[in-house]
Amino acid sequence: MVYSEDMKLLHEILAAGRGLADNLGTSLSALLMGYGVTSEVINEPGRFGADKTYVVDDPGLERFNSETHGSALLQTVKTVSPEVLLIGATKKGKELTARVVAGLGVGCMTDCTSLSLDGESRLIGKRLTYGGFSVAEVACLKRPQVATVPPGSYDELELSGIPSQVVRLNVVLSEPRVKVVEQRSKAEAGFGLKEAPIVIGCGRAFRRKEDLALLDELAGVLGAHVSCTRPLAADYHWFEEWIGLSGSKIRPRLYVSLGVSGTIQHVAGIRDAQNIVAINTDESAAIFNVADYGIVGDIFKVVPALTKQLRERLSK
């Protein structure tokens, strides 16, 4: 059984689930939880691989709350008894999953970027550990076998064919104890950054927001999307999103890091870039270990020089 509160991620995980279900010779179901779930939404999972779609429609599920959604998911899992449970690894999904597996008394493999089955129908997952330094291969020992899957790990597969069977389930919910007093939407993270072929990342060598103007020229010449390491977004609020383990993981053709030291967490976000250029005054900065090309120098002198050279070369 597969669940995510994010529809696109649900489709991606259905693709992962489809392969596993076929391998195990069982059916693949999707779970939809909410209030006033429309028939349009109910028909979606079937198009993306689900044999069955379970619908839990209850006023208590109108707004996400890990207590109510967790309780609903736990009740559903106890009714349906899936062999494998896959949940989308958004922040909400991870919070929800941890509560549900505690209720089920089973383990959970989190943030699995790939899933497979061994000879004994054990679910095997690959995931980052040590702050992004290494990849662990993990197996589930109890049933149901549970894993969370981050966005972008699987491509959604739109299949035509038999629409999935819809099954409505009821749950018993109580008032959640945590009350939401105010909610503020955030701009969709990752838009533009994840698709950009050339990305410039700035780090803490930039002390003042005005210094970022330096980057705009370079970005213009290269046609690059500008982003940053976590502190510049999360602490200084100069950007909405950042590149790293807890932010966006990018795979551009070219990544240019400016004044970035190269922490493990940031590197986890850039390791799939085809080419990495690093500019930093510190010769011993970790970023130089993971770069293809580097300049040891002052970004405030090198970047203008680089911009000028590139402008000349690229205009030919």
Partner 1 sequence: MVDIVVLVKDTVELSELKVDPATRRPILLGLNRRIGDLDKRAVEAAVQLRDKHGGKVILVSLGDDKTRTAIREAFAMGADEAYLLRDSSFEGSDTLVTSRILAAALRRIGRYDLILCGEMTLDSLSAQVGPRVSELLGLPLVAYARRIEVKGDRIVAERSYDMEDETVEVSMPVLISVVREINEPRTPALMSIMRASKKPIQDWNREALGLQIEEVGSHGSGIKVLDVKAPLMERKRIIFKAETPEKAASSLVDRLFKDGVLK
Please work out, in degrees rounded to the nearest 5, the angle formed at the alpha carbon of residue 39 by the alpha carbons of 33 and 40: 100
Binder of partner 1 out of 41, 139, 159, 214 (CB under 8 A): 139
Q: How far is the CB of 292 from partner 1 (least distance, A)?
A: 4
Strands 165-168, 84-88: pairing is: unpaired
Site for partner 1 in 253-312 (CB under 8 A): 253-254, 263-265, 271, 275-277, 283, 286, 288-298, 301-302, 304-306, 308-310
Q: How far is the CB of 166 from partner 1 (least distance, A)?
A: 27
Site for partner 1 in 4-63 (CB under 8 A): none
What are residue 165's phi and psi, to 5 degrees? Answer: -75, 130
Residue 152, interface with partner 1 (CB under 8 A)? no
Q: Which tokens go with 307?
A: 């911009």
Q: Could you tell me which of 167, 162, 169 has the C-alpha nearest to residue 52? A: 167
C-beta separation of 257 from 237 below 8 A = no
Sign of the four-CA dihedral 74, 77, 83, 89 = negative
Residue 177, interface with partner 1 (CB under 8 A)? yes
Tell me the site size for partner 1, rule CB under 8 A: 89
Residue 191, interface with partner 1 (CB under 8 A)? no
Report d(CA 123, CA 310) in Å as an integer: 50
Report d(CA 272, CA 280) in Å as an integer: 21
Q: How far is the CB of 267 from partner 1 (least distance, A)?
A: 8
| Binding range to partner 1, per CB under 8 A, among 25-33, 36-44, 66-74, 209-217 | 66-74
Q: What is the DSSP letter of 224?
A: P
Binder of partner 1 out of 38, 43, 79, 134 (CB under 8 A): 134
Site for partner 1 in 95-124 (CB under 8 A): 95, 97-99, 101-103, 105-111, 124
User: Is residue 215 helix, strand or coil?
Assistant: helix
Binder of partner 1 out of 141, 168, 209, 220 (CB under 8 A): 141
